[in-house]
Amino acid sequence: MPVSQVAAPRTEVSSPVVCEHDVLDHPSRSAMNTIWQRWAAPRPQAAEAAALVLLTAITLSGVVVTWALRFRPPLWPALALSVLACGALHWRRTRPLLVVAITLSCTVAQGALGYLLTPLLMGPLLTAQYSLSVHNPRRTSWNSALVVAFAMVVTGLFDTRLHRSPVLSIVNPTAWVLLCAALGSYVRVRREYAATRAEHAAREREEEARHRVFQERMRIARELHDVVAHHLTLADAQAATAAHLARTHPGQALDIIGMLPQTTSAALRELKATVGLLRQDTETSDDLAPAPGLQDLPDLVDACATAGLAVTVTVDGQASRLPPVLDLTAYRIIQEALTNVSKHAATPTARVRLAYTPRYLTLTITNDTGPSRPATSTARPGGFGLISMRERATAVGGTFHAGHRPHGGFEVTCALPLDSHDDSPDESPPT
Distance CA(58)–CA(132), nearest Å, equals 21
**pLDDT for the residue 280:** 58
Q: What is the 3-state secondary structure (H, E, C) of the chain?
A: CCHHHCCCCCCCCCCCCCCCCCCCCCHHHHHCCHHHHHHHCCCHHHHHHHHHHHHHHHHHHHHHHHHHHCCCCCCHHHHHHHHHHHHHHHHCCCCHHHHHHHHHHHHHHHHHCCCCCCCCCCHHHHHHHHHHHHHCCHHHHHHHHHHHHHHHHHHHHCCHHHCCCHHHHHHHHHHHHHHHHHHHHHHHHHHHHHHHHHHHHHHHHHHHHHHHHHHHHHHHHHHHHHHHHHHHHHHHHHHHHHHHHCCCCHHHHHHHHHHHHHHHHHHHHHHHHHHHHHCCCCCCCCCCCCCCCHHHHHHHHHHHHHCCCEEEEEEECCCCCCCHHHHHHHHHHHHHHHHHHHHHCCCCEEEEEEEECCCEEEEEEEECCCCCCCCCCCCCCCCCHHHHHHHHHHHCCCEEEEEECCCCCEEEEEEEECHHHCCCCCCCCCC
pLDDT digit string (tens) for 235-256? 776 677 777 777 777 777 777 6
**pLDDT for the residue 425:** 45
**pLDDT for the residue 47:** 75
User: Percentage of residues in the chain with pLDDT exceeding 70?
Assistant: 72
**pLDDT for the residue 318:** 86
Query: Per residue of the chain (431 residues), what is the pLDDT tens digit?
Result: 443 343 444 444 333 333 444 445 544 444 445 776 676 677 777 777 888 888 888 888 888 888 877 667 788 888 999 999 988 888 888 889 999 999 999 998 988 888 888 888 888 999 999 999 998 888 888 899 899 999 888 888 876 565 567 777 788 889 999 999 999 999 999 999 999 999 998 898 888 888 888 877 777 777 776 666 666 677 776 677 777 777 777 777 777 677 677 777 766 776 776 666 556 555 444 444 566 788 888 888 887 887 778 888 999 988 888 888 888 888 888 988 888 887 776 677 889 999 998 888 999 999 876 544 444 444 344 456 788 788 888 888 899 998 888 877 888 999 999 864 444 444 556 55
Those residues whose C-beta lies under 8 Å from the C-beta of residue 381, and which sit 6 or more positions away, are 343, 344
**pLDDT for the residue 359:** 87
pLDDT digit string (tens) for 269-316? 767 766 665 565 554 444 445 667 888 888 888 878 877 788 889 999
**pLDDT for the residue 20:** 40
